[in-house]
């Protein structure tokens, strides 16, 4: 069986999804394990994907009037303690520096798990008047959260991310910004990563430590589990009160600022792998693929073949398409396998017959289909194909998402739907204790509460409580990474 040729090095995607994931990450050279437990190395191929993601995301962040800056990785331990919920949330997972420069430190230092506290300290020095508002910064950096169980990209002691932080004069403006950045994330995931999202509000239990409200985008992976892919927080005045960030308003009185923060991370690379990958390995959307087109010369020694290949390479390269020619002495079959595993969206095979007949033979990784057509305008054809692959990958992922979202009326239906690899939409009474008990019993969590609320049942699907007409919330339930 042809399919089997590609299977040999990668675990079965249907039977052992976790091992399939690890195999794909390691064998494609995306990441490796660092020497300190729980850390990862992002290898060149994985990092090139991250650079493409960064470029797209960074442009969107700047288009919203946010400038980049850089804040220190070291935070005084006492800063963490200023916001009560914040320290409770993060203290158990921080790494602490106690020695530096050969001496024991007078005050312990935390390696940033997130930067609200150090940034708030600076905000309180920088912001004085309504004229200074809104104040918007973002940083791209590493953060550290000590984890017991780790997996490359999904959960590691150190990861890379962007964290945006904004200050506003009013609660309304802060709320608007919170939702605007959530929409930026959703649009980015859909249009760049080809991953459709479930958008909604987190429950009190699941919100960010220190926020008034947290919103998230959640994606369904091929094993039916949810990957939280980005969060946006309305912090209200919690941190501005703890760090004394006040401004002189137009009315001559001093007021505490309203604040937001929002972040996405290298975790999105995990989402990319588990949304689009197949038995052969990675499938990358053209917009973030380090190599968009690979050209494999067939019988390269035959006259004219390499000349034409180099001509195509130059034309594509000049048009800004990320193209690679593999003219090494490996067999074509080995190369096909290799670049399919690496998820290259489009492969061109070019040999003497193609040259003679004026043909273009290409393989689309999204459909695993080979086609031969007339070679006319190579740039126009490749651009069209890359656009179509990008579009098709999103449609395929949307179809999967829709087919795996099940509306459930009770606990049994929820558990059964999720066991079959679906997300469940169901009513929840709104009680935190009910949510916690349901999670303890089933390992299923409320991912978020969709913006478009509707009533899909009369009882709480978690505890069975009868819900009055105005009681209960529609929630999205799943097991999560």
Q: Which residues bind a second copy (CB under 8 A)?
A: 32, 34-36, 39-44, 47-48, 50-51, 67-76, 79, 91-102, 108-109, 111, 118, 121-122, 125-126, 137, 141-142, 144, 146-148, 157-158, 160
Minimum distance from residue 303 beta carbon to a second copy (Å)? 28
Nearer to a second copy, 114 or 157 (CB): 157
Rounded Cα distance between 378 and 207, Å, is: 50
Minimum distance from residue 39 beta carbon to a second copy (Å)? 4
Minimum distance from residue 108 beta carbon to a second copy (Å)? 8
Minimum distance from residue 50 beta carbon to a second copy (Å)? 8
On whether the CB atoms of residues 452 and 199 are closer than 8 A, the answer is: no
Rounded Cα distance between 429 and 471, Å, is: 7
Spatial CA neighbour of 192 closest among 269, 257, 115, 277: 269
Spatial CA neighbour of 269 closest among 343, 366, 368: 343
CB atoms within 10 A of CB 81: 14
Tokens of 322: 């990320």
Nearer to a second copy, 102 or 358 (CB): 102
Residues linked to residue 261 through DSSP beta bridges, in sequence order: 165, 233
Spatial CA neighbour of 347 closest among 375, 315, 373, 371: 371
Nearer to a second copy, 51 or 419 (CB): 51
Minimum distance from residue 11 beta carbon to a second copy (Å)? 21
Nearer to a second copy, 66 or 192 (CB): 66
Kind and range of the H or E element at 196? none
Minimum distance from residue 102 beta carbon to a second copy (Å)? 5
User: Phi first, then psi: what are they for 6, rounded to 5°?
Assistant: -85, -15
Spatial CA neighbour of 141 closest among 166, 163, 120: 163
Nearer to a second copy, 6 or 146 (CB): 146
Minimum distance from residue 468 beta carbon to a second copy (Å)? 43
Nearer to a second copy, 15 or 148 (CB): 148
Minimum distance from residue 44 beta carbon to a second copy (Å)? 4
Minimum distance from residue 207 beta carbon to a second copy (Å)? 22
Minimum distance from residue 157 beta carbon to a second copy (Å)? 7
Strand, helix or coil for residue 278: strand
Residue-wise DSSP of 422-452: -EEEEEE---HHHHHHHHHHH--EEEEEESS
Nearer to a second copy, 51 or 384 (CB): 51
Residue bearing tokens 């494609």: 28
Nearer to a second copy, 39 or 442 (CB): 39
Nearer to a second copy, 143 or 382 (CB): 143
Residues linked to residue 111 through DSSP beta bridges, in sequence order: 74
Alpha carbon 217 to chain centroid, angstroms: 9
Minimum distance from residue 222 beta carbon to a second copy (Å)? 26
Q: Which residues contact 299 (CB under 8 A, 6 or more apart)?
A: 305, 351, 352
Nearer to a second copy, 58 or 223 (CB): 58
C-alpha pair distances (Å), 210 with each of 158, 191, 234, 445: 21, 31, 9, 20
Residues linked to residue 355 through DSSP beta bridges, in sequence order: none
What is residue 36's DSSP assignment?
A: S
The strand ranges marked E within 169-256 are 198-201, 213-220, 226-236, 246-248, 254-256
Nearer to a second copy, 335 or 411 (CB): 335
- Number of residues assigned to the chain: 481
């Amino acid at each position: 069986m042809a399919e089997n040729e590609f299977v040999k090095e990668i675990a079965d995607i249907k039977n052992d999804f976790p091992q399939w994931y690890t195999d794909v990450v390691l064998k494609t050279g995306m990441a490796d394990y660092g020497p300190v437990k729980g850390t990862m190395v992002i290898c060149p191929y994985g990092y090139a994907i991250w650079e493409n993601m960064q470029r797209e995301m960074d442009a969107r962040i700047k288009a919203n009037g946010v400038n980049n800056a850089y804040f220190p990785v070291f935070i005084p331990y006492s800063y963490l303690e200023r916001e009560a919920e914040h320290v409770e949330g993060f203290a158990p997972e921080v790494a602490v520096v106690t020695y530096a420069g050969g001496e024991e430190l007078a005050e312990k230092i935390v390696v940033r798990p997130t930067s609200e506290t150090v940034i708030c300290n600076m905000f309180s020095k920088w912001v004085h008047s309504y004229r200074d508002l809104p104040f918007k910064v973002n940083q791209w950096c590493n953060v550290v959260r000590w984890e017991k169980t780790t997996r490359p990209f999904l959960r590691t002691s150190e990861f890379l991310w962007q964290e945006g932080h904004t200050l506003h004069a009013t609660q309304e403006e802060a709320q608007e910004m919170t939702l605007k950045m959530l929409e930026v994330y959703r649009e980015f995931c859909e249009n760049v990563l080809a991953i459709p999202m479930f958008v909604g509000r987190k429950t009190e239990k699941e919100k960010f430590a220190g926020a008034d409200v947290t919103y998230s985008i959640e994606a369904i992976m091929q094993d039916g589990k949810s990957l939280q892919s980005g969060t946006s927080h309305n912090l209200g005045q919690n941190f501005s009160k703890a760090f004394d960030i006040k401004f002189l308003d137009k009315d001559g009185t001093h007021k505490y600022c309203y604040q937001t923060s929002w972040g996405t991370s290298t975790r999105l690379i995990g989402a990319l792998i588990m949304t689009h990958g197949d038995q052969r390995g990675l499938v990358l959307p053209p917009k973030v693929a380090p190599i968009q087109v690979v050209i494999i010369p067939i019988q390269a020694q035959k006259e004219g073949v390499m000349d034409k290949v180099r001509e195509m390479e130059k034309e594509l390269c000049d048009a800004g398409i990320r193209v690679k020619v593999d003219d090494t002495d490996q067999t074509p079959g080995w190369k096909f396998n290799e670049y399919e595993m690496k998820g290259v969206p489009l492969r061109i095979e070019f040999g003497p017959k193609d040259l003679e007949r004026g043909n273009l033979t290409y393989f689309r990784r999204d459909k695993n289909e080979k086609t031969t057509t007339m070679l006319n305008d190579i740039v126009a054809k490749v651009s069209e194909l890359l656009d179509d692959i990008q579009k098709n990958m999103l449609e395929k992922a949307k179809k999967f998402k829709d087919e795996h979202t099940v509306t459930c009326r009770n606990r049994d239906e929820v558990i059964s739907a999720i066991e079959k690899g679906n997300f469940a939409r169901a009513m929840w009474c709104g009680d935190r204790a009910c949510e916690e008990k349901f999670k303890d019993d089933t390992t299923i969590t409320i991912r978020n509460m969709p913006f478009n609320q509707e009533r899909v049942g009369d009882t709480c699907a978690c505890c069975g409580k009868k819900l009055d007409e105005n009681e209960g919330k529609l929630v999205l339930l799943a097991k999560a990474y």
